[in-house]
């Protein structure tokens, strides 16, 4: 009883500090949902036959932002803003993701965004975990042979880029020919050290046509820009370390629970 009375008479800041130190808090981290930079690889049309018209051309970039308010279904929708066919920015960081669209079940299967090929990561479908393993192990579970007898995986690689545009970081997802275009470009330069122009070029294979994203150096960054990029990279890596630490503990706890 004496301790309770003493605590009640302490200055507010000290009392709150002691309470905070005594009360157990669940560990976690705050994930920042970045606005997205998206790219239209094929014309978007509406209507059929003679009445069909192109409403958005292949090669167009969009900026997408999630609305704060929820719709009638309790979901937050994304608002798109057209940016044109060229975008300039500084590519700060790259990450990875595995994705698959299962036509039979009409379900999307995907991993969280990850960084290292030796990470144990889950695969989710309809917000439910379906399996776990390293990226190589997961891709092996979805192997098939194409018409030429080559072994491939239906679980495809994606690259996720964090791009600094107009003092704001956007997230861009790359797959297919655009992803390989990026990987070729990244081998030639140090992406965070240059201003890059993202554009595209038309491609064809048989009766299929699309636009492949291209990357071109505009100029090297100046001293002030480099300092700003270094600071933003530090913040990104600190956030990713918190995320990895959190999920590592969650994964270990789940493994220990499953032993019983």
Q: Per the domain annotation, does 222 fall within a domain?
A: yes
Q: Per the domain annotation, does 22 fall within a domain?
A: no
Backbone φ and ψ of 185, nearest 5°: -65, -45
pLDDT at 245: 74
- Find the domain containing 172 and state its range: 33-67+78-258
Q: Per the domain annotation, does 82 fall within a domain?
A: yes
Q: How far out from the chain centre does Cα 23 lie?
A: 35
Q: Are strands 36-39 and 168-174 parallel, antiparallel or unpaired?
A: parallel
Q: Per the domain annotation, does 239 fall within a domain?
A: yes
pLDDT at 71: 80
Q: Per the domain annotation, does 211 fall within a domain?
A: yes
Q: Per the domain annotation, does 15 fall within a domain?
A: no
Q: Which residues of 41-64 are buried (b: 16+ CB within 10 A; e: fewer)?
A: bebeeeeeeeeeeeeeebbbbbbe
Place 178 in a pLDDT band, splitting at 50, 70 and 90.
very high
Please tell me the pTM assigned to this model.
0.79
**31 or 97: which carries more pLDDT confidence?**
97
Q: Per the domain annotation, does 9 fall within a domain?
A: no
Q: Per the domain annotation, does 155 fall within a domain?
A: yes
């Amino acid at each position: 009883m004496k301790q309770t009375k003493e605590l009640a008479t302490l200055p507010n800041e000290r009392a709150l500090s002691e309470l905070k130190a005594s009360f157990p808090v669940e560990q976690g981290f705050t994930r920042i949902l970045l606005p997205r930079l998206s790219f239209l690889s094929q014309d978007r049309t509406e209507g059929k036959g003679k009445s069909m018209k192109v409403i958005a051309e292949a090669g167009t970039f969009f900026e997408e932002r999630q609305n704060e308010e929820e719709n009638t279904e309790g979901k937050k929708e994304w608002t798109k803003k057209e940016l044109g066919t060229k975008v300039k920015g500084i590519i700060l960081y790259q990450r990875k993701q595995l994705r698959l669209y299962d036509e039979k079940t009409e379900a999307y299967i995907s991993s969280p965004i990850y960084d290292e090929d030796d990470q144990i990561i889950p695969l989710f479908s309809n917000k439910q975990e379906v399996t776990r393993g390293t990226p190589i192990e997961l891709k092996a579970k979805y192997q098939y042979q194409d018409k030429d007898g080559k072994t491939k995986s239906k679980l495809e690689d994606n690259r996720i880029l964090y791009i600094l545009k107009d003092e704001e970081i956007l997230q861009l997802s790359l797959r297919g020919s655009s992803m390989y275009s990026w990987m070729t470009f990244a081998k030639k330069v140090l992406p965070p050290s240059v201003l890059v122009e993202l554009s595209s070029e038309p491609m064809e294979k048989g009766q299929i046509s699309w636009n492949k994203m291209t990357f071109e150096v505009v100029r090297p960054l100046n001293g002030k820009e480099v300092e700003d990029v270094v600071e933003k990279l530090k913040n990104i890596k600190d956030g990713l370390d918190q995320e990895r630490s959190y999920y590592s503990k969650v994964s270990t706890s789940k493994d220990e629970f499953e032993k019983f």
